[in-house]
């Protein structure tokens, strides 16, 4: 994982908008987040995370045969961030693409990587989550609900075909869902390719349609329902009991959402792990960032059962069960 060095505290945001450290911590659990600095691009964050993943796996970029990058904050309208990452990694001509499933993006990307490997089309796939949200938020009181939760960061994992019958590590199940009828409850309306004659107008900018809009309460309500639901569905598909899970990792959107979900499923604190306090909500990057820190901190060890569960814009939601 990689996060930019610049730390932005709640008090720093409080100087720009009508909010407070107390409100943010009480409602979300967030103390600070990271923002990129001038000269840094999304692909730079992804590159740093990918280089660490390659080093940890003892692999070179030439050993990969696909790069899948999940993001909601693409470096440019097109092509996606993955192409700039590809250039920076000197990835020859292996395929890459951006995948858009917002905060559930990493779980969706894992699902595709799993499919590529199971079908025999790929042997080794790098799955990256990368977000730069700091440049896309309204840092005034009007945008405070969204602005205080988002942060920048990246994380990466490498999946490979495991044909060793004595090694049970791997993906036991991935279950994903969408419900497009809620798309406008959490979205960025502009630029829009359906807007004639131009995707982005001065009027759109004046109306702040290029900033995220979120119906926070509505999203919260759906998240605390869908996350336990899909987690149970995925565990059942993997024939794993909730008591047999060593570690539950939840998308870091709001600590209160995850506390709610954990309480609903009677999961005690020592079987969860969070880093939202330090990094805020990094959307598609939050789960690979959590995996990296959980492993580094000794929370996640080889052979353990870990679940990954997310909910986000679309709406999208999903859960994975892995043996680490
Ligand atoms: O990443 C995946 C998708 N995203 C999520 O899962 C996020 C889901 N939603 C949330 O986490 C929460 O809804 C928020 C943290 C965004 C907001 O918390 P809330 O407890 O739902 O607050 P609210 O939107 O109901 O607003 C309560 C009050 C309002 O004031 P009034 O109308 O009661 O006077 C807001 O204007 O809090 C106000 N408020 C703030 N006050 C200080 C909203 N944002 C802020 C803020 N600082 N940053």
Name the pTM for this structure. 0.97
For the stretch 31-47, pLDDT in tens is: 999 999 999 999 999 99
The per-residue pLDDT for 163 is 86
Check residues 247 and 162 and name the one with the higher pLDDT: 247
State how far the Cα of 154 lies from the Cα of 284, in Å rounded to an integer. Answer: 8
Residue-by-residue DSSP string for 151-216: --EEEEEEEE----TT---EEEEEEEEE-GGGGGGEE---S-TTSSS-SS-HHHHHTTTTS-EE-H
d(CA 23, ligand 1 centre) in Å: 9
29 lines ligand 1 (CB under 6 A): no
Element housing 250 (H / E):
strand 247-250
Q: In whole angstroms, what is the distance from residue 158 CA to residue 62 CA?
A: 13
Asked if residue 67 has its Cβ within 6 Å of ligand 1, the reply is no
Check if 156 has its Cβ closer than 6 Å to any atom of ligand 1: no
Q: So what's the pLDDT on residue 207? A: 97
Ligand 1 pocket, 27 CB below 6 A? yes
Task: Give the tens place of pLDDT for each residue, 283-305.
Answer: 999 999 999 999 999 999 999 99
Q: What separation, in Å, do the N-terminal and C-terminal C-alpha atoms of the chain show?
A: 17
Task: Tell me the pLDDT band of 208, cut-offs 50, 70 and 90.
Answer: very high
Neighbours of 232 (CB within 10 A): 14
CA–CA dist 146, 235 (Å, integer): 32
Judge whether 91 and 34 are in contact, CB under 8 Å.
Answer: no
**Among the atoms of ligand 1, which is closest to the Cα of residue 310?**
2
| Residue 166 in this model has a pLDDT that exceeds 90 | no
**Cα-to-centroid distance, 234 and ligand 1 (Å):** 30
- Tell me the sheet residues that pair with 187: 213
Given a cut of 90, is residue 253 above it in pLDDT?
yes
101 pLDDT band (50/70/90 cuts)? very high
Q: Of residues 251, 258, 275, 282, which has the active-site annotation?
A: 251
Checking phi first, is residue 286 left (phi over 0); if not, alpha (psi -120 to 50) or beta? alpha
**Coil, helix or strand at residue 317:** strand
The CB of 174 under 6 Å from ligand 1? The reply is no
Rounded to the nearest angstrom, the distance between the alpha carbon of 10 and the centre of ligand 1 is 15
**Helix ranges (DSSP H) in 31-160:** 42-57, 81-88, 105-118, 144-147
pLDDT at 167: 87
Lookup result for tokens 């969070």: 274
What is the distance in A from the centroid of ligand 1 to the CA of 216? 6
Identify whether 251 is a catalytic site residue: yes
What are 305-320's pLDDT values in tens digits?
A: 999 999 999 999 999 9
- Provide φ and ψ at 302, rounded to 5°: -55, 135
pLDDT over 90 percentage in the chain? 98
- Closest alpha carbon to 249 in 47, 73, 110: 110
Q: In this structure, what are the phi and psi dihedrals at residue 322, rounded to the nearest 5 degrees?
A: -125, 150
Q: To test ligand 1's pocket by mutation, which of 19, 141, 147, 216 has the most ligand atoms within 8 angstroms of CB?
A: 216
Residue-by-residue DSSP string for 198-232: -SS-HHHHHTTTTS-EE-HHHHHHHHHHHHHHHHH
Average pLDDT over residues 242-266: 97
What tens digit of pLDDT does each residue of 54-69 get?
999 999 999 999 999 9
Given a cut of 90, whether residue 70 has pLDDT beyond it is yes
pLDDT(196) > 90? yes
Asked about 76 being catalytic, the answer comes back as: no
C-alpha separations of 64 from 6, 68, 96, 113 in Å = 31, 11, 11, 12
Q: Whose C-alpha lies nearest to ligand 1, atom 13?
A: 216
Q: What is the pLDDT of residues 109-149, one digit of tens each?
A: 999 999 999 999 999 999 999 999 999 999 999 999 999 99
Q: Would you state the pLDDT for residue 319?
A: 98
Residue-level pLDDT at 141: 98
Distance 220 CA to ligand 1 centre (A): 10
- Inform me whether the pLDDT recorded for 241 exceeds 90: yes
281: annotated active-site residue: yes
Q: How confident is the model at residue 172 (pLDDT cuts 50, 70, 90)?
A: very high
């Amino acid at each position: 994982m990689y996060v930019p060095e610049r730390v932005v505290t709640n008090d720093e945001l409080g100087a720009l908008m009508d909010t407070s450290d107390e409100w943010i911590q009480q409602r979300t659990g967030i103390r600070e987040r990271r923002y990129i600095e001038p000269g840094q691009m999304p692909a730079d964050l992804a590159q740093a995370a990918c280089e660490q993943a390659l080093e940890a796996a003892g692999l070179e970029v030439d050993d990969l045969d696909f790069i899948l990058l999940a993001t909601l904050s693409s470096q440019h309208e097109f092509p996606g961030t993955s192409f700039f990452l590809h250039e920076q990694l000197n990835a020859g001509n292996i395929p890459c693409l951006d995948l858009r499933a917002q905060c559930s993006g990493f779980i969706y990307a894992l699902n595709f990587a799993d499919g590529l490997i199971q079908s025999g089309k790929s042997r080794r796939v790098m799955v990256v989550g990368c977000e730069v949200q700091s440049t896309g938020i309204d840092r005034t009181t009007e945008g405070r609900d969204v602005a205080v939760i988002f942060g920048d960061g990246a994380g990466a994992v490498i999946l490979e075909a495991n044909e060793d019958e004595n090694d049970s590590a791997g993906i036991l199940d991935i279950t994903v869902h969408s419900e497009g009828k809620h798309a406008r409850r959490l979205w960025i309306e502009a630029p829009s390719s359906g807007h004639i004659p131009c995707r982005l107008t001065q009027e759109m900018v004046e109306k702040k349609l290029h900033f995220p809009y979120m119906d926070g309460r509505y999203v919260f309500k759906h998240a605390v329902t869908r996350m336990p639901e899909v987690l149970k569905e995925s565990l059942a598909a993997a024939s794993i009991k909730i008591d047999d899970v060593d570690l539950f990792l939840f998308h870091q959107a709001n600590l209160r959402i995850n506390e709610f979900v954990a309480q609903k499923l009677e999961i005690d604190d020592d079987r969860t792990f969070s880093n939202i306090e330090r990094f805020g909500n990094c959307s598609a990057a939050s789960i690979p960032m959590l995996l990296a820190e959980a492993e580094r901190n000794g929370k996640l060890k080889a052979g353990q059962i870990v679940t990954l569960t997310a909910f986000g814009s679309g709406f999208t939601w999903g859960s994975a069960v892995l043996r680490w």
